[in-house]
Amino acid sequence: MGDKGSENLIELDTGESIWESFFTVFPLVVIGTREADGSDDLAPKHLAMPMSWKNHFGFVCTPRHNTYQNIQRDGEFSVTYMRPSQTVLASLAATPRCDDGSKPVTQALPTFAAEKVNASLVQDGYLFLECELQQIVDDLGDNSLIMGRIIAARVAEDALRSSELDDEDLIYASPLLAYLYPGRFTEIANTNKLPFPAGFKR
């Protein structure tokens, strides 16, 4: 007899990837790198997050992708956090490469140059990070974790937290984009303050 509350749990086969069996919430960012020929490489990623309470950022990629190879070669990358209005742009950045290895759609995306790394950022995002490679962890199945140290960061004025504006109102005015893997997205505008216990410290 199972523990109370576990009767309706469905066992998943961990011999296969479990992540397609339910929905989970992620950000949607675009990673920018520079190709060997000097052109932009822009790739959407959702397995992406801060790697510490300090200024470190990481994301999951596969060594087969140019993003991984460019970062391994040059040791740097950029990160654009996309807005809900940019979902189609982020999706376009995932367009497969042509037979000759080129990705013409990248040239059609509105970008601007990073200041401290040799990469581009996507215009009209709300958070822009520039990172130096710190470490790559390979052999996570077919994937790798790429971690960088943030050496420059900029945030859009309408996304900057302020003591003069309640956080709830800030998010309502400038909604966040959430990717619901697999294959869905939503706009986060209505939020509530998390009831942390008294004396809580991170």
Q: Tens digits of per-residue pLDDT, 139-151?
A: 999 999 999 999 9
pLDDT in tens, 155-184: 999 999 999 999 999 999 999 999 999 999
Q: Give the strand pairing for 29-34 and 76-81.
A: antiparallel
Q: What is the pLDDT of residue 184?
A: 95
Please name the residue ranges forming H helices in the chain: 66-74, 87-92, 105-108, 167-173
Q: What is the pLDDT of residue 101?
A: 62
- Looking at per-residue pLDDT, the higher value among 56 and 92 belongs to 56
Give me the residue label for tokens 């984009």: 177
With H, G, I as helix, E, B as strand and everything else as coil, classify residue 71: helix
Q: What is the pLDDT of residue 147?
A: 98
Q: What are phi and psi of 192, to 5 degrees?
A: -130, 150
| Closest-CA residue to 111 (of 91, 94, 89) | 89
Spell out the domains of the chain, with CATH numbers in brackets: 23-188 (2.30.110.10)
CA distance 78 to 138: 20
3-state helix vs strand vs coil in the chain, percent to 5: 15, 40, 45
Residue 103 reports pLDDT greater than 80: no
| Closest-CA residue to 160 (of 170, 152, 168, 150) | 170
| Closest-CA residue to 47 (of 66, 28, 23, 65) | 28
Residue 91 reports pLDDT greater than 90: no
DSSP at 19: G
Q: What are phi and psi of 161, to 5 degrees?
A: -65, 145
What does the mean pLDDT of the chain come to? 92
DSSP at 96: P
